[in-house]
Chain A
Amino acid sequence: MTLKKNKVVGLEQVVVRFAGDSGDGMQLTGSLFSDSTAFAGNDFATFPDYPAEIRAPQGTVAGVSGFQIHFGRKTVYTSGDLADVLIAMNPASLKANMKWIKQGAIVILDIDTFTEKGFEKAGYKSDPTLDGSLDGYNLIKAPISNLTKEALISLNLDNKSVLKSKNMFSLGIIMYMFNREIDLVSKYFETKFKANPLVIEANKMVLAAGFNYADTLEVLGSTFKVEPAPLEKGKYRNITGNVATAWGLMAASERSGRELFLGSYPITPATEILQELAKHKDLSVRAFQAEDEIAGIVSAIGASFTGSLAVTTTSGPGLSLKSEAIGLAVMTELPLVIVDVQRGGPSTGLPTKSEQSDLLQALFGRNGDAPVIIIAAQSSVDCFYSAFEAAKLSLEHMTPAILLTDGSLANGSEVFKIPKVADLPKINPPLVKANDPDYKPYRRDPEKLNRFWAIPGTDGLRHRIGGLEKEDGSGNVSHDPMNHQRMTLLREEKVMRVANYLPDQIVYGDENADLLVVSWGGTYGVMRTVVEKMQRQGKSVSLAHFRYIMPLPKNTETILSKFKRIVVCEINNGQFVKYMRMNFPQYKYEQYNKIQGLPFMVAELEEKFNALLKN
């Protein structure tokens, strides 16, 4: 298909947001556009914005489903703040998304849905396209519903089927705007709807109709092009954080030679990890959907005792339920990976919204002195590597590890350069050989201080473990006062010595800058974006973004000592900053906290940092 418009404007990066009723197929539209973005060679990140209800009333704000994609010719760290282009399939989706678009953004509406009935359902008192509320935006009133009907008139389809394909009309418009080839999407229809040639035909026709319609638009004076990003050579795919977590765990299973066992209970937003792992019995994954969170983790501890790479997955409230059992894994010194996909808390809180809610719970939420390894994934793709690393550290150091991800990373997707499993580090759990004459259940490795893993079924290694305090060495039950003190210190020292096996903390920017920005986990993308932007403007700002929480990298204190001003930014009421004040009380910390169930925006951070630099 050729383009009539000859003016093509080159852009560095663009954010497009698709919004419609939850039945309008916006997620599919978004993911097809993502595929085309991948084909165009851009770097990109996406984020779905689902309603909390499964099927909220049609046409209402509560029922709006959105999908945002941020793509560019340079590294894209986040799914974007505010959109440059919004497609709204009904008045409710316009209303729900007005606050997420830039001033002057292109707003494409299915004007056929902008009726009195539509306004009423959306809660509009007047027509927003006429009352001035869209002044200053580049408004395109497209009769999408009617043109879809017209495009399909020859196929004699029923009205419902016709309206189902109107999302492809909007996709056609966007494909035209960004100079994309529609053949790729047509090919997708051919595979996806193989059994139904009529559906293939209908979707192709509507897509082409949308594409051609955009070509006739006077208001669209030009089209846009984002040149390919300089991505490294290699094979790529798109991946969400939850799938990346599941795959990282499977990779760890392969590199350790330990079968993967998952004991888990469904909970938003962690459920997809359980679903993904349940699929992969072909890779010997034993995924057990337990009766509750407690059975999930305890079954995993049982599997760990028998020599599996054992995992449990959950979100905040589920982590609370697992606390006692994490203590059991600490006491029995067994490997166990606990994945916590954080969401807004406390209690049920904001299940579908992301928050860095569980840092303090992960660090301290158990009876007794019960330290565990804690890693916080920093991007959707990093969920793969941090899940792998959590498994490696847990297996090699014989202690539970908590992996903190969050709702944004879990549901968001990014471009993932596919690694080779053989290039990932080998994992060497400290297994005991049959009939080892020196074996004692709590004998320790002198370097790492881990005990050794004696698997039931192995000759000559029968032993008992449990939640009661153990005598150092023999592992017999012991109530001896000095032994308890010694064992408590050993358990702590074992976890602290993990730092000997961690890379140094990285500082992005000058080590003598005026301001050190500190952040951790899922905010990496936006923090890098802001700090790089300010550095390009010549501002004296550096970033230390932490992935390793417990233990902290060994050079942490050295880094902090070099900066006069430190600001700790978190999507919570200040948890990491408390941890820093506890560990390094000699430094002064300022805070920036956002607790709205929303990610940081570039602009708000920039404003905060500029203000700090001025004072």
Chain B
Amino acid sequence: MENQIIEVQPIQLTKEDFSSDQMVKWCPGCGDHAILHSVENVFPNLGIRKEDFVVVSGIGCSSRFPYYMNTYGFHSIHGRAAALATGIKVANPKLSVWMITGDGDCTAIGGNHFIHTVRRNVDFNILLFNNKIYGLTKGQFSPTTPKGTKTKTSPQGSFERPFNPGELVIGAQGNFFARTLDTNPKHMTAIFIEAEKHRGTSVVEVLQNCVIFSNKAHELITSRELKDENQMMIEHGKPLIFGAKNDKGIRLNGTSLEIVKIGENGITESDILVHNMHETDPGVHVMLSRMMPPEFPVALGVIRAVDFQTYNDEMDETIAHEKETSKIKNVDDLLNSGGTWTIE
């Protein structure tokens, strides 16, 4: 099944339709503001009625998000947004469900719900704001904090190996993973649209900056001096090329990736790996997700988008089939089914 093209219906909505009247209380300079603006820009352009959006979250700075969107929204408890969104989508599959979460909420306390949601392929979008720190509790290391980072609970440097969200998603048999940056609204907007278009659990990792507790956590990727060398914008069907002069590329060498320079040692553009986000085999997608500076540029864009039956569709189809074929049409039928006897 091909990705469903969202028909643009004659629903005329604007960004203002989705801005709530609540004061936004994130810190000035927080990356969350830019993400909120992008989402507000995306929602009017999806051809979906504004009443059909539901924005849900768990706990953390990012999880305040639903209060700032004028949609149906639910700010739940720490780590449980994926379970909440699953209930919403399975109970009413017509809704467009968006889960907003952070690295602690999603991959620590909510890790179990996250991997099982991905495994089941329930059709909703997960925007994972990864700032590699616990912000709301004021600066403790999270499961994505790099090893050795000094935080309030790792004053001598963290001992723990971090999760890479992309690797986690694909390892849990995820079918959609994309990565974007809070400093690139245009890219974010395009990626959020791709996430909604994909049927199934769509996970978007937004590399987001916490100005207070992990400022410049993504400095290697976002700084003006380094970004050309350390960012690789990927697109389906296009070669994996990056660099200030667009002269570097990614090549498959045996079972691993390597950086090559076009024009050197007889390398031409045809030697460069062409991105196929629809490839069912997860091998290259995992390797692309794992690429990190300083060794590699970080891959930004849709890394994996593979069609697969969704949990909610299977539930709907099974219900429709059972309703059609079962002799039991209502609870009276059920009560009177099987072994009964009558007292005259």
Contacts and interface: CB of A to CB of B under 8 A. Distances in A.
A426 interface: no
A467 B331 contact: no
B185 to A, nearest CB: 24
A510 interface: no
A283 interface: yes
Contacts of B52: 456-457
B67 A302 contact: no
A294 B80 contact: yes
B84 A298 contact: yes
B160 to A, nearest CB: 23
B200 interface: no
B341 A39 contact: yes
Interface string A453-485: 000111111111111100000001100000000
B330 to A, nearest CB: 6
Contacts of B328: 280, 282-283
A237 B323 CA distance: 24
B8 interface: no
Interface stretch (B87-95, B136-144, B217-225): B87-95
B95 to A, nearest CB: 6
Given A41-B343, A237-B335, A295-B113, A306 B92 contact: yes
B112 interface: yes
Size band of the interface chain B makes with A = 35 or more
B51 interface: yes
B340 A237 contact: yes
B116 interface: yes
Contacts of B76: 298, 301, 328, 466-467
Contact of B334 (A283, A306, A328, A461): A283
Interface stretch (B232-240, B241-249, B271-279, B314-322): B314-322
B344 interface: yes
B334 A280 contact: yes
Contacts of B94: 457
Given A295-B113, A468-B75, A284 B91 contact: no
Contacts of B59: 467
Contact of B116 (A284, A291, A305): A291
A332 B84 CA distance: 13
A310 B112 contact: no
A280 B323 CA distance: 9
A518 B328 CA distance: 41
Contact of B91 (A282, A303, A419, A459): A303
Contacts of A235: 336, 340-342
B112 A236 contact: no
A291 B113 contact: yes
A418 B343 CA distance: 11
Contact of A298 (B73, B83, B315): B83
A464 B341 contact: no
B80 A295 contact: yes
Contacts of A476: 22
Given A303-B87, A464-B75, A292 B112 contact: yes
A332 B112 CA distance: 24
A324 interface: yes
A236 B342 contact: yes
Contacts of B336: 235, 418
Interface string B103-120: 000000000110010000
A514 to B, nearest CB: 38
Contacts, number: 196
B128 interface: no
A234 interface: yes
Given A250-B331, A306-B95, A299 B75 contact: no
A461 B22 CA distance: 16
Interface string A211-232: 0000000000000000000011
Contacts of A308: 91-92
Interface in B266-298: none
Nearest to B85: A302
B319 A281 contact: yes
Size band of the interface chain A makes with B = 35 or more
Contacts of A532: none
Contacts of A290: 83, 86, 116
B341 A301 contact: no
A308 B22 CA distance: 28
Counting chain B CB atoms within 10 Å of each CB, which of A254, A288, A306, A461 scores highest?
A: A306
Interface in B165-204: none
A288 B86 contact: yes
A35 interface: yes
Contact of A464 (B73, B80, B319): B73
B91 A421 contact: no
Contacts of A251: 331
A250 B89 CA distance: 21
Contacts of B325: 282
Contact of A302 (B66, B87, B339, B340): B87
A436 to B, nearest CB: 13
B88 A303 contact: yes
B264 interface: no
B266 to A, nearest CB: 52
B338 interface: yes
Contacts of A462: 50-51, 70-72
A607 B81 CA distance: 54
A232 B74 contact: no
Contacts of A477: 22, 67
Counting chain B CB atoms within 10 Å of each CB, which of A231, A456, A476, A477 scores highest?
A: A456
A286 interface: yes
Given A236-B343, A247-B334, A298-B77, A457 B51 contact: yes
A458 B66 contact: no
Given A236-B342, A421-B332, A298 B80 contact: yes
A300 interface: yes
Contact of B342 (A234, A284, A295, A459): A234
A288 B72 contact: no
Contacts of A460: 51
Contact of A456 (B90, B92, B335, B342): B92
Contacts of B332: 420-422
Interface in A243-280: 247, 250-251, 254, 259, 261, 263, 280
Nearest to B20: A464
A533 to B, nearest CB: 26
B323 A419 contact: no
Given A281-B318, A328-B77, A466-B76, A459 B326 contact: no
Contacts of B80: 294-295, 298, 325
A299 B323 contact: no
A250 B340 CA distance: 19
A299 B87 contact: yes
Contacts of A288: 86-87, 90
B88 to A, nearest CB: 4
Contacts of A281: 318-319, 322-323
A238 interface: yes
A306 B67 contact: no
Nearest to A228: B343
A303 B90 contact: yes
Contacts of B113: 291, 294-295, 298
Interface of B: 20, 22, 49-52, 54, 56, 59, 66-67, 69-77, 80, 82-92, 94-95, 112-113, 116, 315, 318-319, 322-323, 325-326, 328-332, 334-336, 338-344
Given A281-B319, A457-B49, 4 more contacts: A234-B343, A236-B343, A457-B94, A464-B75
Across the A-B interface, give the 7 residue pairs with the lowest CB-CB distance, nearest first: A302-B87, A466-B75, A282-B326, A299-B87, A303-B91, A464-B73, A298-B83
14 contacts: A233-B344, A283-B331, A288-B90, A292-B112, A294-B83, A300-B87, A302-B74, A419-B335, A458-B51, A462-B70, A462-B72, A464-B75, A466-B75, A477-B67
